């Protein structure tokens, strides 16, 4: 289910920033350092796949991971961008109702699961990170609209990257930004009094000029990763808002007549066109993408890395082949051209092999197993030609190997009790 995107495994503490951000359906949200994508997928889910999310990351190697996480989760209200965070403060001032600054940090809070994180905790590294964090958060405040909410978060424990960054920001924007109490942002979800008190004690120890509410999660008291969050609200403009520029996104909304033609073809094949309210088809070469209308209205003045969810690909004979991403995310909506797999067939297709099917099925079909859509295939003469993504097949094979090794490890422990209890 995780590989298919139907569930996302996330550490409990890392879910806190989005809960504090509290994004609402229809809003325009900026995730300034989005990769690998756990928080962005959480934002998309809380927004019910409506509105617009700009998911940004500056590192090219992490963009593919971010894009993959969003596509597997079925997010249609996202556009992936590769920009330095400061670009948004300069070019999109005052455009976003919510801004998440889950910034790069020394990651001390992850040490209990990965002790190697501590090797980045030199004073030089901490100072370098703190300077970067101040620049990112400053840009995030500029990018936020008046009345907007900004959440700053790290998975580290140092005061230099946490309380001292927020104190610096509140001093810099003393008349324009204030800190909200995390306990009042999500009172029904989490008893945050201990976390807020933990940050208050740190502030007392370093003689902050003015105390402010924030949340600090210590691993030994919360039984989570170490984490820090601060919630800010913007009251007045911090920069002059530029005139809205002509959008320059690579993917463009398709013409109404073309969208009708695509929708009609897909409905005839599957009994639905898989579109929901507020959604729009976009064109990028031969590829058709599914996004929200709000993405086009966001007014990004530059080209994007990826937009929305792959929907279909046009063929030379004017047909449209659904993407695996769409079939996995919304295949449950189909009432026709669906192939229900038995366990043995599921094993075949996840192994990258073809398998048998009902001879009555012909052409493109959506595969389902135990009510869960898993992708697409081509049915011909009682055979299913496997069209699952190579990535899914490869990952399934790796998971099978890990599972087999785990079983062998259990057997070895039972045979050799001196290796541990059995």
pLDDT in tens, 168-222: 999 999 999 999 999 999 866 667 789 999 999 999 988 777 899 999 999 999 9
Domain boundary residue among 234, 255, 279?
234
Q: Are residues 147 and 12 in the same domain?
A: yes
CATH code, domain carrying 191 = 3.40.50.150
The mean pLDDT of 312-332, rounded to a whole number, is 92
Domain boundary residue among 205, 234, 263?
234
Q: What is the pTM of this model?
A: 0.91
Answer whether residue 315 is part of any domain. Answer: no
Is the per-residue pLDDT at 55 higher than 50?
yes
Is the per-residue pLDDT at 420 higher than 50?
no
Contacts for 170 with CB less than 8 Å, ≥ 6 apart: 177, 178, 179, 210, 212
Nearest by Cα to 241 from 120, 79, 88, 400: 88
Answer whether residue 174 is part of any domain. Answer: yes
Answer whether residue 247 is part of any domain. Answer: no
Answer whether residue 370 is part of any domain. Answer: yes
Who wins on pLDDT, 264 or 299?
264
- Domain count for the chain: 2
- How far apart CA 267 and CA 334 sit, in angstroms, is 9
Q: Are residues 365 and 226 in the same domain?
A: no
Answer whether residue 323 is part of any domain. Answer: no
Q: Are residues 179 and 37 in the same domain?
A: yes
Answer whether residue 343 is part of any domain. Answer: yes
Domain boundary residue among 234, 258, 280?
234
Query: Is the distance from CB of 353 to CB of 393 less than 8 angstroms?
Result: no
Instruction: Cite the DSSP H helix spans in 365-389.
Output: none
Q: Are residues 165 and 53 in the same domain?
A: yes
Confidence of residue 243 (pLDDT cuts 50, 70, 90): low
Q: Are residues 204 and 349 in the same domain?
A: no
Q: Are residues 226 and 344 in the same domain?
A: no
Q: What is the pLDDT of residues 217-240, one digit of tens each?
A: 999 999 999 999 999 999 999 987
CA distances from 115 to 15, 109, 130, 153 (A): 22, 10, 21, 21
> Which residues does the annotation mark as catalytic?
155
Confidence of residue 1 (pLDDT cuts 50, 70, 90): confident
At residue 403, the pLDDT reads: 65
Answer whether residue 298 is part of any domain. Answer: no
Instruction: Give the domain extent around 368.
Output: 337-407
At residue 414, the pLDDT reads: 37
Nearest by Cα to 396 from 65, 73, 3, 67: 3
């Amino acid at each position: 289910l995780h590989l298919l995107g139907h569930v996302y495994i996330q550490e409990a503490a890392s879910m806190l920033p989005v809960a504090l951000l509290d994004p609402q359906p229809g809003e325009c949200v900026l995730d300034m350092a989005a990769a690998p994508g756990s928080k962005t997928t959480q934002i998309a889910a809380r927004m019910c796949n409506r509105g617009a999310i700009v998911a940004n990351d500056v590192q090219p190697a992490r963009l593919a991971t971010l894009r993959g996480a969003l596509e597997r989760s079925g997010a249609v209200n996202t556009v992936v961008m590769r920009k330095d965070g400061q670009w948004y403060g300069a070019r999109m001032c005052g455009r976003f109702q919510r801004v998440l600054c889950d910034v790069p940090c020394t990651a001390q809070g992850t040490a209990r699961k990965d002790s190697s994180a501590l090797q980045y905790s030199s004073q030089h590294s901490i100072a370098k990170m703190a300077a970067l964090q101040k620049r990112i958060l400053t840009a995030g405040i500029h990018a936020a609209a008046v009345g907007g909410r900004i959440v700053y978060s790290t998975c580290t424990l140092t005061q230099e990257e946490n309380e001292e960054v927020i104190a610096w920001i509140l001093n810099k924007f003393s008349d324009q930004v204030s800190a909200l109490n995390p306990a009042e942002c999500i009172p029904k979800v989490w008893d945050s009094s201990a976390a807020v008190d933990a940050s208050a004690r740190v502030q007392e120890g370093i003689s902050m000029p003015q105390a402010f509410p924030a949340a600090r999660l210590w691993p030994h008291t919360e039984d989570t990763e170490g984490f820090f969050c601060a919630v800010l609200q913007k009251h007045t403009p911090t920069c002059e808002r530029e005139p809205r520029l002509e959008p320059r996104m690579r993917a463009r909304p398709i013409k109404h007549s073309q969208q009708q033609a695509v929708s009609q073809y897909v409905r005839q094949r599957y009994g639905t066109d898989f579109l929901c309210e507020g959604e729009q088809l976009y064109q990028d070469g031969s590829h058709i993408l599914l996004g929200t209308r709000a993405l086009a209205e966001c007014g990004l003045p530059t080209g994007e890395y990826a937009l929305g969810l792959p929907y279909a690909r046009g063929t030379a004979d004017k047909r449209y082949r659904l993407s695996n991403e769409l079939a996995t995310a919304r295949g449950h909506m189909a009432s026709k051209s669906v192939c229900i797999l038995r366990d043995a067939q599921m094993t075949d297709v996840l192994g990258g092999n073809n398998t048998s099917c009902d001879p009555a099925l012909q052409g493109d079909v959506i595969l389902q197993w135990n009510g869960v859509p898993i992708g697409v295939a081509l049915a011909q003469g009682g055979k299913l030609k496997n069209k699952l993504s190579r990535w899914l097949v490869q990952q399934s094979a790796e998971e099978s190997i890990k599972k087999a090794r785990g079983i062998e490890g259990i057997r070895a422990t039972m045979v050799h009790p001196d290796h541990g209890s059995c």
